[in-house]
Amino acid sequence: MHADGVVMMSEQAIETTSGPLGQKCRRPLAVLVGAFAAGSVFAGLLNMAPSSSAAWGSTLTYALLFGVLGVAVYRRNKILELQRDLVRQQAQEIQLTHAALNNHALVCLTDPDGKIASVNENFSAKFGYRQEDLIGRHISIIYPDGDEDATMLEVRRSLARGEIWTGESEEVTAEGTKVFMRCTIVPMLDEAGKLVKTVSIRTDNTEYRRAEKARFLKSLFDHLQDEVYIFRTDSLQMVYANHRALEASNWSAKDIDAKTIIDADSQMNAAAFRAHVAPLMRGDRDSVSIEVMRGDRAGEIRTRLVRSDDGELLFVSVLRDTTERMETERARLESVSVVSHELRTPLTSIKGALRLLGSGAMGDFDAQAKSVLDIAERNTETLLLIVNDILDLEKIRAGKMRLEKSDVDLVSFLNDVVEMNTGYGAEFQVDFDFSTRLDTAMARLAPERMMQVFANLLSNAAKYSPTNDTVRVGLEDDGEYWQVSVTDRGPGIPESARETVFESFGQVQNTDGKTRKGTGLGMAIARKIVLAHGGEIDFESEPGHGTTFYVRLRKPHLEADLGQGDTETASLSDVA
């Protein structure tokens, strides 16, 4: 076959090739065309006459051009193939990157106004929304302070400058749960540099932050001098105990999971503990406290309810060693009681003499003299009250004060308490009002000592109440307890003074600036008497709006179940 015919057939083959197989054939066919073309030219050269030198040169030039053209066509096809391979590789990489982001990150696209254009499933699932519910809503819904959130405003300023924002952001789910996100937010700009879209990529950093917080708190609690116990509300199973708690309970850290709070002390009783924390579970109180003895050491346990980051409700009990404080108080009482014993007899004589003079038995006095006698008698009475309070505390400490218990109806008892203290309230132009829905409320108590407790609460309420106000006394059925409340609308007690209210000689700084007389012993005595009854005394107060003191006394059947009240008399020495 003639070379020109082969060239023509090859060119036709190149033009008609298609598909993957055709693409592979184009390169060798193109090279073949070039080769045949060159061969044809050289063949023609060999048949030319020597005299045709001009034609020979022209033919050689064409042959070279055809050869170069063939090589160029081959190289072009090679480059196109490489470009197609590169595009395929980049497309695969983009698909893999997109898949990785969707699987491991939270992706969100927003328009220039901050409205959500699209989100992936991870984003909607984490924040607790359906994808369709997020489209069109402003991105501020995931920030704690909405449009005014400081982090969101910082992001918007960065995007307005065309800058990428990277950092950690505190955000909230649809349920209001706080989450911490590590964010990269990228602005997409048009040719004029105008913001057209933003792409945000988030990774959840919440668990890391929680772990960091847990490590910090554990390190902090581990080295506290107080004993710290954290345990579950349903099973009382231990979650955490610091070094002091482990040492005091004779536990090791690996024992914690197998322990309950009841195992911390052999004297603990599950039923009594449940009754003790019942006000926390009902939401009536922020904390409850009780005084305990561990060997020869005294302590106070204060228990609160807390909610963990994952929503679990836990008890936190802190046992503070009060031995040194009580020894200091005891030493102070001992020194004062010696003086009190010496003062009691002459003060009683002085009081009797002043009353005798005031009665007119020794002759009549003018109005000015009677006024002086009245002042002297009142001050003498105050001094005797102080002396008696000091001696009562000394008796409690020495275990010499006995509680003569009997069955008492608290409804009738509190009516008597209010009636007996009406005169004292009148001195401050304050009324006492007792109300209850109960017909009867039987309790086992020492009437004289509980009368002392409530008289102290009523007198304090009267002193701190506004003129012409009313102090409210209430009685409620509180499950395993009878709860008595005394409420005033006085200046209130600051939270910082909570620890000193029930201490001997404790004086709360008056928030209204007024001075009120008191021995600073009444509440200390009241607390010891209530604790000796197996009860509780505490208060709630809002400065500027008043205070409510609570006394909670166990019902007789529970007192019997706990092994208390088995005898007619009980000593106060255990709570001294």
pLDDT of residue 29: 47
Distance in Å from the first CA to the final CA of the chain: 128
SS3 call for 517: coil
Element (H, E) at 432: strand 431-436
168 CB contacts (<8 Å, ≥6 apart)?
Answer: 180, 181, 182, 183, 205
**CB-CB contact of 232 with 308 (8 Å):** no
Q: What is the pLDDT of residue 458?
A: 93
The pLDDT of residue 565: 43
Q: What is the pLDDT of residue 7?
A: 46
CA–CA distance, 565 with 558 (Å, rounded to integer): 10
In 250-312, at which residue ranges do the beta strands (DSSP E only) sit?
287-294, 297-307
What is the rounded distance in angstroms from the CA atom of residue 530 to the CA atom of residue 290? 11
Which pLDDT belongs to residue 212? 83
What local confidence, expressed as pLDDT, does residue 231 receive?
94
- Please tell me the predicted confidence (pLDDT) of residue 46: 46
Q: How is residue 166 annotated by DSSP?
A: E
Measure the CA–CA gap between 343 and 445, rounded to whole angstroms.
31
Q: How many CB atoms lie within 10 A of CB 552?
A: 27
Instruction: State the pLDDT at residue 139.
Output: 94
Distance of CA 262 to the CA centre of its chain: 25
pLDDT at site 1: 46
pLDDT at 563: 44
Q: Which helix (H) or strand (E) holds 21?
A: helix 19-47
Beta bridge partners of 406: 445
What confidence score (pLDDT) does residue 94 get?
56
Q: What is the pLDDT along the chain (576 residues), one digit of tens a residue?
A: 444 554 454 455 445 544 554 454 455 545 545 544 554 544 454 454 444 556 656 666 666 676 777 777 777 877 888 877 777 776 666 566 555 666 678 999 999 999 999 999 899 999 999 999 999 999 999 999 998 999 999 999 999 899 999 999 999 999 888 899 999 999 999 888 899 999 999 999 888 888 887 788 788 888 888 999 999 999 999 999 999 999 988 999 888 989 999 998 888 888 889 988 988 998 878 888 888 887 788 888 999 999 887 778 999 999 998 888 777 777 766 776 676 667 767 777 777 787 778 777 777 777 888 787 777 877 777 677 777 777 776 776 666 667 788 999 999 999 999 998 888 888 889 999 999 999 999 999 988 889 889 988 998 999 999 999 999 999 999 888 899 999 999 998 888 787 778 876 666 656 555 555 666 678 888 888 898 888 899 999 988 889 999 999 988 865 544 444 443 444 444 444
Q: What CA–CA distance (Å, rounded) separates 177 from 198?
A: 25
Q: Which strands make up the sheet holding 297-307, listed edge to edge?
A: 238-241, 227-232, 313-321, 297-307, 287-294
Q: 41 and 50 in contact (C-beta within 8 Å)?
A: no
DSSP state of 172: E
pLDDT of residue 296: 80
Instruction: Dump strand ranges (E) for 454-530.
Output: 470-478, 481-488
The predicted pLDDT at position 90 comes to: 67
Neighbours of 34 (CB within 10 A): 21
Say how far apart CA 260 and CA 430 lie, in whole Å.
49
Task: Please tell me what DSSP assigns to residue 288.
Answer: E
Among residues 484, 563, 572, which one has the least CA distance to residue 532? 572
State both tokens at 135.
């489209």
pLDDT number for residue 102: 63
